[in-house]
């Protein structure tokens, strides 16, 4: 047998069960997204099958049949992590393999020296035990037969596979599955028994290919998978180091290696992931996003250097792990377009230094928020590419420039209540005092009544010396000098 297939059945469900340590006897199902009452099962485990539950069943109906059914929502993060683990596992088995589906890998065994197929399967199953995920292994003379063999739970003949089950699980491409079921075909063996010519005349070349697969007459090439780990490197320090000089020295060498690999695949680094492991068991991870994809080791090293300059290790560094996230390199015609920033990475480096001083949450672009509340500002963190974030366009309500007092000055104001509002008469305290010659207002404002409600009334007042001020009254009796009109 030249090919093997590894099938992690119902991986999105089994990885959740593995995470929670649920026993295999616990019936469980994965739900479709949307309203719970209209949701249906998209995957179930073996224990759930015993209750006549099948994928596609409505959740309410499934619960009627098995009240103890554990219902789980898909978790893309857990799924991604499980997928990475299975990928790493397969990568440790063979150099050449195909990532056929998210649950199935097709392995080329031709380069391996295998004494016994049974031993290889036993070894593979035992070495996968750390994943805690149910695994089915199949061998076959062709990739597709190996794939089908992996879908048989007990390593049966792949032709015994039920067509209805294959159609439901969508783990193997099965064209015209509805027609085949309408024809009463139960298994692939039934399909294999049909006349090839008759099939071709009725359902076309797709079914002919499937027919050939069942007879082992179709042999396709694998689409070999190349791991992203190619751009990942680890270095262990013996003994652990206590300052970052040797670290930078090693990092420079490693970055050169990684950048050469990237260059080889016509890629550039978009992000740099750094992980430091300390001898006290702690670890430090940081993702450094580059403003512009780069292949220059110096640029990458500078980012790393800046970060390490501002970082204090809690213990000697034992292991150093570096990964580059590849992307397409930036291309632009020389000198055709002028750029706002000559060297975005240099600017990002400066920014990172600032961030280390003031704290990342205190650095960004201020902008006025879309609110009626005056002087309501928010900080937008700087995008890696220094693009201006979309901010609401707020027209000033008056043509006069206003020198805003930040923070506003608390003052005492003589006022009288007319109707619903307090009208200011004279400023008693504060930098500008005296009777008010003319007042315009009130301009009541309020909002956020659904949470953190606020309300105030603004006044524009003129003092005796023609000084124009903006006052704000906040109930119950708080007056503020919020600005001076120039």
Kindly list the residues in this chain that would bind another protein in the complex (CB under 8 A). Answer: 35-37, 52, 58, 60-61, 63-65, 67, 179, 182-185, 194-195, 198, 201-203, 369-372, 392, 394, 397-398, 419, 440-447, 449-452, 458
- Angstrom distance (rounded) from CA 405 to CA 480: 10
Minimum CB–partner distance for residue 73 and another protein (Å): 10
Minimum CB distance to another protein smaller for 54 or for 155: 54
Place of tokens 């110096």: 298
Minimum CB distance to another protein smaller for 58 or for 409: 58
Minimum CB–partner distance for residue 485 and another protein (Å): 13
Minimum CB distance to another protein smaller for 120 or for 459: 459
Minimum CB distance to another protein smaller for 378 or for 428: 378
Whether 1 and 146 have beta carbons less than 8 Å apart is answered as yes
Torsion of CA 144, 145, 150, 155, to 10 degrees: 180
340 CB burial (10 A radius; 0-12, 13-18, 19+): exposed
Minimum CB distance to another protein smaller for 132 or for 445: 445
Minimum CB distance to another protein smaller for 60 or for 289: 60
Whether 458 and 480 have beta carbons less than 8 Å apart is answered as no
Minimum CB–partner distance for residue 473 and another protein (Å): 13
Minimum CB–partner distance for residue 377 and another protein (Å): 14
Whether 341 and 384 have beta carbons less than 8 Å apart is answered as no
Dihedral sign computed on CA atoms, order 327, 333, 334, 335: negative
Minimum CB–partner distance for residue 385 and another protein (Å): 25
Q: How many CA atoms lie within 13 A of 27 on its CB side?
A: 17
Minimum CB distance to another protein smaller for 175 or for 444: 444
Minimum CB distance to another protein smaller for 37 or for 416: 37
Minimum CB distance to another protein smaller for 60 or for 257: 60
Minimum CB–partner distance for residue 424 and another protein (Å): 15
Minimum CB–partner distance for residue 403 and another protein (Å): 17
User: Helices 76-93 and 11-20: crossing angle, nearest 10°?
Assistant: 100
Place of tokens 């300052």: 243
Minimum CB–partner distance for residue 215 and another protein (Å): 17
Minimum CB–partner distance for residue 98 and another protein (Å): 33
- Residues near 274 by Cβ (< 8 Å), separated by ≥ 6? 284, 285, 286, 287, 288, 304, 307, 321, 322
Minimum CB–partner distance for residue 447 and another protein (Å): 7
Minimum CB distance to another protein smaller for 64 or for 224: 64
- Angstrom distance (rounded) from CA 290 to CA 302: 11
Minimum CB–partner distance for residue 30 and another protein (Å): 17
Minimum CB distance to another protein smaller for 243 or for 438: 438
Minimum CB distance to another protein smaller for 386 or for 443: 443
Minimum CB–partner distance for residue 443 and another protein (Å): 5
């Amino acid at each position: 047998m030249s090919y093997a297939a590894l099938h992690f059945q119902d991986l999105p469900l089994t990885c959740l069960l593995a995470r929670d340590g649920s026993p295999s006897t616990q019936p469980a199902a994965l739900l479709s997204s949307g309203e719970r009452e209209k949701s249906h099962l998209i995957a179930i485990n073996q224990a759930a099958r015993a209750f006549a539950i099948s994928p596609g069943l409505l959740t309410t109906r499934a619960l009627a049949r098995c009240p103890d059914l554990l219902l789980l929502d898909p978790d893309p993060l857990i799924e991604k992590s499980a997928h990475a683990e299975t990928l790493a596992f397969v990568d440790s088995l063979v150099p050449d393999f195909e990532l056929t589906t998210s649950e199935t890998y097709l392995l080329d065994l031709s380069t391996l020296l295998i004494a016994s197929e049974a031993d290889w399967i036993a070894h593979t199953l035992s070495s996968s035990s750390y994943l805690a995920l149910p695994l089915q292994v199949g061998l076959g003379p062709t990739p597709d037969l190996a794939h089908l063999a992996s879908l048989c739970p007990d390593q049966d003949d792949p032709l015994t596979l039920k067509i209805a089950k294959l159609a439901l699980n969508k783990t193997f491409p099965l064209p015209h599955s509805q027609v085949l079921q309408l024809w009463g075909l139960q298994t692939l063996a039934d399909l294999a028994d049909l006349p090839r010519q008759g099939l071709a005349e009725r359902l076309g070349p797709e079914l002919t290919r499937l027919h050939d697969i069942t007879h082992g007459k179709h042999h396709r090439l694998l689409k070999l998978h190349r791991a992203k780990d190619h751009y990942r490197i680890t270095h262990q320090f013996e003994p652990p180091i206590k300052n970052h000089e040797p670290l930078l020295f090693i990092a420079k060498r490693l970055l050169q290696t990684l950048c050469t690999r990237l260059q080889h695949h016509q890629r550039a680094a978009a992000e740099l992931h750094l992980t430091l492991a300390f001898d006290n068991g702690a670890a430090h991870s940081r993702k450094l996003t580059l403003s512009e994809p780069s292949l220059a080791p110096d640029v990458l090293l500078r980012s790393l250097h800046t970060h390490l300059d501002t970082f204090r290790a809690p213990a000697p560094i034992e292991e150093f792990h570096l990964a580059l996230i590849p992307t397409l390199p930036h291309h632009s015609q020389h000198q055709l377009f002028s750029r706002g920033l000559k060297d975005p990475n240099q600017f990002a480096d400066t920014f990172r230094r600032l961030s280390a001083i003031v704290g990342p949450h205190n650095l960004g672009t201020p902008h006025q928020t879309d609110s009626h509340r005056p002087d309501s500002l928010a900080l937008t963190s700087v995008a890696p590419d220094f693009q201006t974030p979309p901010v609401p366009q707020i027209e000033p309500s008056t043509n006069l420039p206003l020198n805003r007092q930040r923070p506003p000055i608390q003052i005492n104001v003589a006022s009288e209540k007319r109707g619903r509002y307090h009208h200011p008469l004279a400023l008693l305290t504060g930098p500008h005092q005296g009777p008010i010659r003319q007042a315009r207002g009130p301009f009541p404002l309020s909002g956020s009544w659904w949470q953190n409600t606020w309300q105030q009334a603004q006044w524009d007042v003129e003092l005796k010396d023609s000084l124009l001020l903006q006052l704000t009254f906040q109930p119950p009796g708080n007056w503020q000098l919020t600005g001076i009109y120039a």
